């Protein structure tokens, strides 16, 4: 008997399958592409291979090897008696039945939908020109574009701008908003953008892209945008559209009867249950937090609930990182968001240039901003840019999750010399 059907073997789906198997459940896991989903095959892992490669040529060569090795590891983990991996597309027949593409029916009391997301293209003229690509196709390029124009200064736009500039491409970013990375503290986002600007990336901020026009010759094209009421254009050999992602929903979801929407994805409650009891939706498809680690933890929470196991996962404390060079990372609300919500707080800052390890590493560009309740009280948030910002924020995430104060952080002994010491150097 099957206890749980999971549709999609991305980080949400496959980690949920492994956790369920560990708890003794019988699982059927559907995947019609490669296991590992966007993150492993065309997202986080290939992008990080690029970030750590010394040259574009080496990145192109290493990327498929890294992906294949990891994918092999996931396949090995999944080949165990409690998991049946069905390498076919699944469609809902009713609330408890799913059919494979070859027509076999599978029934279970619980179903998890983990179908992920896909790139959202702007509905503008020229979006279908051959020079326009998404991050998936950009990672597949065999030749370094001489001029790369990136539409959108969100997470994908900034990560690719940083790495392609380092590889030697001439990079221009066109962004509708006044500042990049809106989820980050405005001051930190601005400092990161200015640093990348100094390295040679051109930014057009407050610039809404209106169309993409084919260039007079060759395969290049022009990105046409409006900035301060005037029309401007940037010519490029390749154009990356990094304007967000949308949940992958499918018409057969209607057979199961739960509420969903093409734009917002599948509606879920705080335990990630859809409007039909026994059917859950985790990861990008529920549109909550489009992050691999969010999907993983949502899956673990759902499986715990199905298996009757308690957990204390705190979904309000969700750290995130942007793998530019240097990195940026954040957990909790920004200073502006705290002000807007009228939450009393005090803000403490520290700079990488005063940290011994950062100086030794010649990584002195960086800043930490930590907000806590007045009087060095409970820590509310931390936003960082600088080398290994993700690791610095990870430490603060543990303190926030445990409800600790800044005083308790200061009382914690930090290894010397480490970048983490920047946290005990906060003003
Ligand atoms: P995003 O929503 O982060 O950024 C899209 C940007 O495009 C926005 O800043 C928006 O203002 C801009 N934009 C939209 N229309 C525009 C127009 N006409 N002209 C100019 N600018 C325009 O989306 P993304 O960067 O594509 O990322 C997609 C998702 O993937 C996000 O949810 C992100 O969190 C996730 N992701 C996360 C990581 C990570 O955690 N390191 C890495 C990659 C992707």
Q: pLDDT of 143-162, one tens digit each?
A: 999 999 999 999 999 999 99
Q: Does the beta carbon of 209 lie inside 6 Å of ligand 1?
A: yes
**Cα 181 to ligand 1 centre (Å):** 8
- Kindly report the backbone phi and psi dihedral angles of residue 258, in degrees, each rounded to the nearest multiple of 5, phi listed first: -85, 160
Nearest CA among 220, 223, 134, 222 for reference residue 174:
223
The domain made up of 132-241 has a fold known as FAD/NAD(P)-binding domain (3.50.50)
**411 Cβ contact list (under 8 Å, min separation 6):** none
Q: Does the beta carbon of 320 lie inside 6 Å of ligand 1?
A: yes
- Kindly report the backbone phi and psi dihedral angles of residue 179, in degrees, each rounded to the nearest multiple of 5, phi listed first: -130, 155
Which residue ranges in the chain fall short of pLDDT 70?
A: 218-219
**Cα 158 to ligand 1 centre (Å):** 9
**pLDDT (0 to 100) of residue 215:** 82
**pLDDT (0 to 100) of residue 355:** 97
Nearest CA among 189, 290, 170, 198 for reference residue 242:
290
Indicate if the alpha-carbon torsion angle 192, 194, 200, 206 is positive or negative: positive
State pTM to two decimals.
0.96
Nearest CA among 383, 380, 382, 393 for reference residue 419:
393
**pLDDT (0 to 100) of residue 47:** 96
Residue nearest to atom 2 of ligand 1 (CA): 244
Q: Does the beta carbon of 85 lie inside 6 Å of ligand 1?
A: no
Indicate if the alpha-carbon torsion angle 85, 269, 314, 180 is positive or negative: positive
User: Which is the closest atom of ligand 1 to the Cα of 120?
Assistant: 26
Helix (H) or strand (E) holding 194: helix 186-198
Q: Does the beta carbon of 174 lie inside 6 Å of ligand 1?
A: yes
User: Which is the closest atom of ligand 1 to the Cα of 174?
Assistant: 20
Matching fold, domains 132-241 and 326-425? no
- In this predicted model, what pLDDT tens digit does every residue of 226-261 receive, in sequence order? 999 999 999 999 999 999 999 999 999 999 999 999
- In this predicted model, what pLDDT tens digit does every residue of 162-207 receive, in sequence order? 999 999 999 999 999 999 999 999 999 999 999 999 999 999 999 9
Domain 326-425 has CATH 3.40.50.1370: no
**Cα 272 to ligand 1 centre (Å):** 24
**Cα 121 to ligand 1 centre (Å):** 11
Q: Does the beta carbon of 156 lie inside 6 Å of ligand 1?
A: yes
Q: Identify whether the C-beta of residue 408 lies closer than 8 Å to the C-beta of residue 331.
A: no
Q: Identify whether the C-beta of residue 344 lies closer than 8 Å to the C-beta of residue 374.
A: yes
Q: Looking at beta carbons, which pairs linking 219-226 to residues 24 or more positions away fall under 8 Å? A: 219/130, 219/131, 220/131, 220/147, 221/126, 221/129, 221/131, 221/132, 223/149, 223/151, 223/172, 223/174, 225/174
Q: Identify whether the C-beta of residue 366 lies closer than 8 Å to the C-beta of residue 389.
A: yes
Nearest CA among 333, 338, 335 for reference residue 319:
333
Taking residue 343's Cβ as centre, other Cβ atoms within 10 Å add up to 12
Task: Give helix 44-52 / helix 155-167 axis angle, nearest 10°.
Answer: 30
**pLDDT (0 to 100) of residue 184:** 96
Q: What is the 3-state secondary structure (H, E, C) of 149-188?
A: EEECCCHHHHHHHHHHHHHCCEEEEECCCCCCCCCCCHHH
Q: Does the beta carbon of 151 lie inside 6 Å of ligand 1?
A: yes
Residue nearest to atom 14 of ligand 1 (CA): 243
Q: Looking at the domain that runs over 4-119+245-307, which CATH code has it been given? A: 3.50.50.60
Taking residue 199's Cβ as centre, other Cβ atoms within 10 Å add up to 13
Q: Identify whether the C-beta of residue 264 lies closer than 8 Å to the C-beta of residue 249.
A: no
Q: Does the beta carbon of 243 lie inside 6 Å of ligand 1?
A: yes
Q: Looking at beta carbons, which pairs linking 360-366 to residues 24 or more positions away fall under 8 Å? A: 360/417, 361/387, 363/326, 363/387, 365/195, 365/326, 366/326, 366/422
**5 Cβ contact list (under 8 Å, min separation 6):** 27, 28, 29, 30, 90, 98, 106, 108, 110, 111, 112
Segments making up each domain of the chain, as ranges: 4-119+245-307, 132-241, 326-425
Q: Does the beta carbon of 272 lie inside 6 Å of ligand 1?
A: no
| Catalytic center residues | 416
**Cα 22 to ligand 1 centre (Å):** 36
Which of 39, 152, 179, when mutated, tests ligand 1's pocket best, judged by the most ligand atoms within 8 Å of its CB? 152
Angstrom distances, CA of residue 209 to CA of 178, 224, 226, 286, 415: 14, 6, 7, 28, 48
Residue nearest to atom 9 of ligand 1 (CA): 154
- In this predicted model, what pLDDT tens digit does every residue of 124-142 receive, in sequence order? 999 999 999 999 999 999 9
């Amino acid at each position: 008997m099957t206890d749980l059907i999971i549709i999609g073997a991305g980080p949400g789906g496959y980690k949920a399958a492994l956790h369920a198997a560990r708890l003794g459940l019988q699982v059927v896991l559907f995947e019609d592409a490669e296991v590992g989903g966007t993150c492993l095959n065309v997202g986080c892992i290939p992008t990080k291979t690029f970030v750590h490669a010394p040259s574009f040529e080496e990145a192109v060569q290493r990327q498929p090897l890294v992906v294949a090795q990891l994918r092999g590891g996931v396949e090995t983990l999944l080949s165990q008696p409690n998991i049946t991996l069905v390498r076919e597309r699944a469609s809902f027949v009713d609330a408890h039945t799913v059919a494979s593409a070859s027509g076999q029916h599978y029934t279970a009391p619980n179903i998890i939908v983990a179908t992920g997301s896909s790139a959202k293209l702007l509905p503008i003229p020229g979006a279908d020109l051959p020079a326009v690509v998404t991050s998936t196709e950009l990672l597949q390029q065999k030749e370094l574009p001489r001029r790369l124009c990136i539409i959108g200064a969100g997470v994908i736009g900034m990560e690719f701008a940083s790495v392609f500039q380092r590889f030697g491409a001439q990079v221009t970013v066109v962004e509708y908003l006044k500042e990049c990375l809106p989820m980050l503290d405005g001051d930190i986002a601005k400092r990161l953008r200015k640093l990348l600007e100094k390295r040679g990336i051109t930014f057009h901020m407050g610039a809404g892209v209106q169309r993409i026009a084919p260039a007079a010759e060759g395969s290049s094209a022009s990105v046409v945008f409006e900035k301060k009421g005037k029309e401007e254009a940037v010519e490029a050999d390749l154009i990356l559209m990094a304007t967000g992602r949308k949940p992958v929903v499918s018409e057969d979801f209607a057979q199961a009867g739960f509420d969903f929407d093409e734009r917002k994805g599948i509606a879920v409650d705080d335990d990630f249950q859809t409007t039909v009891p026994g059917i859950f939706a985790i990861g990008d498809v529920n549109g909550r937090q489009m992050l691999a680690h969010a999907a993983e933890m949502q899956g673990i929470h759902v499986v715990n609930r199905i298996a009757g196991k308690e957990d204390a996962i705190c979904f309000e404390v969700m750290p995130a990182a942007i793998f530019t060079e240097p990195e940026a990372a954040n957990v909790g609300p920004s200073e502006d968001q705290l002000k807007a919500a009228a939450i009393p707080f005090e803000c403490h800052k520290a700079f990488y240039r005063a940290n011994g390890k950062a100086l030794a590493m010649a990584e002195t560009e960086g800043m930490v901003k930590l907000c806590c309740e007045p009087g060095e009280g409970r820590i509310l948030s931390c936003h960082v840019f600088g080398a290994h910002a993700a690791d610095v924020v990870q430490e603060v995430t543990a303190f926030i999750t445990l409800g600790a104060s800044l005083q308790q952080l200061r009382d914690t002994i930090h290894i010397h010399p480490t970048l983490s010491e920047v946290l005990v150097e906060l003003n």
